[in-house]
A = this chain, B = another copy of it.
């Protein structure tokens, strides 16, 4: 599916934060309940269905995305089609669309991998009008620093881990973030295809498949369907990811 959704004047727009019950949202905390009312045109809620793509060219460089629920994929694509998924963002995580001049030949896309609600936030007007602009900037700065730390960990993985370690690490991370605890282990719903996992880990879809089969054969995972992974023992996966293989 390759459907783009318009953001301006779309009926998926909602009143900022009004319908959002996330009390942990750092943006909301920084603004306060009073501040929210003043900034209704700077925060916009968008719903995206699986496969829908956000057209980021319309956004100002100070835009921030915050995932309220669901999962959003951030991808970068070269002219010749080579592709990398920088992150699968889930509940509460932030993402920063790159300004166009930064990236040279790289195009950036955001695509929902499952039904997703997200907030599109324009920072500058928010900072101008809220009483605690410093708190807001500090919150965003802190989040950006964490993003840098995550990126550095991922670079180490991409540069120095085997395909097996990378996939084990990916499954482990995703299971921790979105897995459901069952009596028989952790159940993980993969909302993306093998190709996207490959794009995230710098591999080929066939390689993902092969390693999945090997994990299955070794009893590290069960694979009732291609999109459902059951992990009886998370520590076993972690051990593989962090170099026990």
Q: Which residues of A are in contact with B by a Cβ distance under 8 Å?
A: 76, 78-80, 82-84, 86, 96, 98-99, 102-106, 127, 133-134, 137-138, 140-141, 144-149, 151-156, 158-161, 199, 201-202, 242-243
Contacts and interface: CB of A to CB of B under 8 A. Distances in A.
Contact of A144 (B79, B102, B145): B145
Contacts of A146: 102
Contacts of A83: 160
B243 A96 contact: no
A99 to B, nearest CB: 8
Nearest to A141: B141
A147 B96 CA distance: 11
A160 B82 contact: yes
Contact of A137 (B78, B86, B134): B134
Contacts of A152: 76, 86, 98, 151
A106 B156 contact: yes
18 contacts: A83-B160, A84-B156, A84-B160, A96-B149, A98-B152, A102-B146, A103-B153, A127-B134, A133-B134, A137-B137, A137-B138, A141-B141, A144-B144, A144-B147, A144-B148, A151-B152, A158-B158, A158-B159
Contacts of A242: 78, 105
A197 to B, nearest CB: 12
Nearest to A98: B149
A243 B154 CA distance: 23
B149 A148 contact: no
